[in-house]
Amino acid sequence: MQTISVKCKLQVPVELRSKIDQTLQGFADACNQIYETAKRENCWNTTKLHHKVYKPVREATGLKANHVCQAIRRVIGNAKAVKQVHKFRPTSLSLDARTFQYIEESQTVGITLMCGRVKFKLSIGNYQMALLKGQSPTAATLNKTKRGDYYINICVDLPTDPTGRTPKVIGVDLGRRDIATTSTGKSWSGKQIQSVRDRYSKVRANVQSKRTRNSRRLLRRLSGRERRFQEWLNHNISKQLVSSAKRSNSALAFEDLTNIRESLNQKPRSKTERRRTNNWAFYQLRLFVGYKANIAGVPVVFVPPAYTSQTCSRCGGIHPIKGKSYRNGKAFKCGRCGFEHDADINAAINIAVLGKSVSLPGSPGMSCQLQGQMSLFPTIQI
């Protein structure tokens, strides 16, 4: 099963908006109070923290019992997910089976607020209805947007196709010049997203230099636009990658780029290059591919990135001089066998070969040749 979130807009009468806002504010106050207690007493265990904060938080905020329990889980979850937790704002409310109910017949949801249980009509289309059909969700999150609209993200479990072993593997090389390039020759240029990021960077610098009253609001709006564009682009690329692998009954192989930003930033780089590297949302693309592939039954494997862009995909040769490569920008020309190819596609082919050794451990795998000696790639284990 794969859990996804279905975003639905709520039809909220004017007289009930203040009730929702009151509950959102109470939930944010509870989270802030719980976080201060957890930080002061260095207590990050859910059960122990519950005994310390449950009664005082209920008395201070007037929240329902399950809202306080969800606030404790929210604080613990955020503390584990990020290095530093900032102040909680009244923009979202976590709900469970006792504070939330989806009624398919009338397309409504029942939400427990501080004033009691209230039903709201959903404003959704056929796509959301199809995902919610026959579901009995037990978790959701109520959100308020900057425009003042209310949405509810309902968690539903979708059945997934079993992922079996397949001899076919599509290698995917990730980068900034081309966001993704496959071993089949398909690529998605990063020129558009790079120009958008550079444009927003210039606008942000201009706004920050003026320091007007509305600068902070404008900066948040610009950040939201850039983030939404990046998500839209990654959703489209991940959908096409998974669809292509599904049609050809292939697995998808990616490089394991964990801590890639830290390693790149250790090298001497200009301020612009450092910003472009840090804005590279390859991890988000990997997450989107992961859950889409899980639903479609497409296997996804990860391989070591060492030498994938420097090795010739035809003869396995690499440059004999340390620090030098046969790759020059987008071009790859092997000095050993004379093979010429697009550098990103050449790397994607190498990733596909390594991916096959992961999905089918009995396969011959891949090796690179240096100065007449055979040097095997690092051992891959799953």
List the domain boundaries for the chain. Answer: 2-158, 169-192+226-376
- Regarding pTM above 0.85, the answer is no
Domain formed by 169-192+226-376, architecture: 2-Layer Sandwich (3.30)
Instruction: Tell me how long the chain is.
Output: 382
Task: Give yes or no for a contact between 234 and 288, defined as CB atoms under 8 angstroms apart.
Answer: yes
**Residues in the chain with pLDDT values less than 50:** 370-382
Predicted local distance difference test score (pLDDT) of residue 147 = 86
pLDDT digits (tens, 9 = 90+) for 232-243: 888 999 999 999
Predicted local distance difference test score (pLDDT) of residue 368 = 55
Predicted local distance difference test score (pLDDT) of residue 367 = 56
Name residues whose C-beta falls within 8 Å of residue 255's C-beta, 6 or more positions apart in sequence.
173, 174, 302, 303, 304, 305, 308, 351
Predicted local distance difference test score (pLDDT) of residue 374 = 39
Alpha-carbon distance of 222 to 183, in angstroms, equals 36
Q: What is the residue type of 40?
A: R
Predicted local distance difference test score (pLDDT) of residue 135 = 87
The greatest distance separating any two alpha carbons of the chain, rounded to the nearest whole angstrom, comes to 79
Alpha-carbon distance of 251 to 254, in angstroms, equals 10
* Terminal Cα-to-Cα distance of the chain (whole angstroms): 21
In 3-state terms, what secondary structure has residue 256? coil
Task: Give yes or no for a contact between 352 and 302, defined as CB atoms under 8 angstroms apart.
Answer: no
Tokens found for residue 72: 């404790």
Name residues whose C-beta falls within 8 Å of residue 134's C-beta, 6 or more positions apart in sequence.
104
Predicted local distance difference test score (pLDDT) of residue 375 = 41
Q: Nearest-5° angle of CA 119, CA 120, CA 126?
A: 130
Predicted local distance difference test score (pLDDT) of residue 272 = 60
User: Which residue(s) pair with 102 in the sheet?
Assistant: 109
Q: Nearest-5° angle of CA 24, CA 25, CA 31?
A: 90
